[in-house]
Structure 1
């Protein structure tokens, strides 16, 4: 009996240690990534001000975090919106310029359609047509609405007529459907993930002031 008690205590201590190490690692990596993104804050804010969306600098940085963690050349993954295909962006500055311009456009179109900010963020991932879809379905983005668009419009339009899915392991997806996205259907959790990342970027920025 003593042996099993000792084994149980040892196992619990080991698990706790592993959890602490894992949390510490994730926290440190998050700190690194938010630092990567925040180094572009001034540049993003300047361009956002020119485009009339400087109130949403944190949102744009949340998009950057979601798209690239502040790593690489195409920080905002804006090549497709700017050129219609991937791999065309040649500098980080170009990516930020086009990314902020793209956000400004989806935001302004969302406002004109009477939709919310979340619709604009989701449209950054889905494309302009999503704004009209939300407008015709209540004017407010939700995961349920984003899923319907992914399943019924975007995914079939890009060739996935059988509603094929693939694993996508994120907190939002795990809680919603066990961790799945529709193939060729964009990311139905995009607006929620950006919102979470926006808060992370802002929090780490403020504690370092």
Structure 2
């Protein structure tokens, strides 16, 4: 019995150490990513104001955090929305100008069709046609709608006629469908990822700037 108690104590101590180390690692990764994203805060605020969506500056920062953590020449991953191809920008400034402009376009279209904000955010990943799809199906983005669109519309459109999937690990994806996405079907969890990252942005506002 004493050996069992000692063994359990060692096991619990080991688990506690792993949890603490994991939390520290997660915290450090978030700190470095947020710090990098906030280096573009002034430019994003400027572009948001020029596009009449100044109230969505934190949302634009959250999209950047989701897309690239502020890394690379195209931190808002907006090249495809302008050129139809990736890696077409020469500077992060071009990426931000296009990314914020594209976000403004999506928000305007979503509002015009009576859709919620998160439909516009999900469309940043899926493309503008997703707004039309949601408008015809209740006007509010949901995981169920996003999955159906990814599976039955976007994925086949881009060549995945067999609805093949691949592993995608995340807490939400694990509990929702066991952790997978459709090949060529975008990320059906995108809006929720941005929502979580916007919470990180708003709760750290003023800390990095």
On whether the aligned pair clears a TM of 0.5, the verdict is yes
Post-superposition shift, 1:39?
1.6
1:36 alignment partner in structure 2: 36
Query: Cα–Cα, structure 1 residues 90 and 35, in superposed 2: closer, same or farther, change >3 Å?
Result: same
- Which position in structure 2 is the counterpart of 1:125? 125
Cα distance in 2, alignment partners of residues 206 and 150 from structure 1: 37
CA RMSD of aligned residues (A): 1.1
Counterpart position of 1:174: 174
Following the alignment from structure 2 to structure 1, what is the Cα–Cα distance between the partners of residues 47 and 175? 36
Taking structure 2 as the reference length, the TM-score comes to 0.97
1:18 equivalent in structure 2 = 18
1:1-209 to structure 2, matched below 5 A, reads 1-207=1-207
CA distance in 1, matches of 2:8, 2:192: 40
CA distance in 1, matches of 2:152, 2:56: 30
Superposition deviation, residue 4 in structure 1: 2.2
Shift in Å, 1:206? 4.0
Tell me the CA shift for residue 208 of structure 1: 5.2
String of CA shifts for 1:20-39, please: whole Å, max 9, x gaps: 01101101110111111112
Gaps of 5+ in 1: none
TM-score by length of 1: 0.97
